Amino acid sequence: MTKDEFYMGKALEEARTAYVVGEIPIGAVIIYEKKAIARAYNLRESLPCATAHAELLAIEKACRALGRWRLTGCTLYVTVEPCPMCAGAIINSRLDRVVYGCDDPKAGAARSLFHLLDNPALNHQVEITAGVREDECAQLMKDFFRARRQKAKETQKTE
């Protein structure tokens, strides 16, 4: 198992926790000097807050852990390609690298829809590694949305 696969496993643990509590199963972990300094999963429904994405929550925790807003020297592992909002936070926090599991064809800002993270027009570019444990990350999302649709059908039948 590679280092990236290992740390993506930690992000998958977070995503599975999100799934269990009814959140879209996206998990994130930030690594600094071979140590996980921040872990988070989506909490938009639980808080409720539109900005409570796993990446943003992990970035906030990492900034507190290091006592600084610049996260140079850090790598973010996230199960799904970051959206434009999260990509902006990744750039602004100066993360060195982002490793993600599966693409997000509807909102991806690393390569699916937009190329924000490594855009040369911006003041910071992030190294991107995509497709780490991709099948597991994608399957978790598929399972979640399949279960959500099934629950919605059952609810309609009982009304």
- Token pair in block for residue 89: 């936070």
Whether residue 83 is annotated as binding a ligand: the answer is yes
**C-alpha–C-alpha distance, residues 73 and 134, integer Å:** 24
**C-alpha–C-alpha distance, residues 60 and 102, integer Å:** 23
CA angle 98-79-134, nearest 5°?
100
Which is the catalytic residue, given 14, 23, 55, 81?
A: 55
| 60 class by beta-carbon count within 10 Å (0-12 exposed, 13-18 middle, 19+ buried) | middle
| 34 class by beta-carbon count within 10 Å (0-12 exposed, 13-18 middle, 19+ buried) | exposed
Residue 159, C-beta contacts closer than 8 angstroms, at least 6 positions apart: none
Whether residue 86 is annotated as binding a ligand: the answer is yes
Whether residue 63 is annotated as binding a ligand: the answer is no
Do the Cβ atoms of 40 and 26 come closer than 8 Å?
A: no
- 55: annotated active-site residue: yes
Annotated binding-site residue numbers for Zn(2+): 53, 83, 86
Q: Which residues are catalytic?
A: 55
Annotated binding-site residue numbers: 53, 83, 86
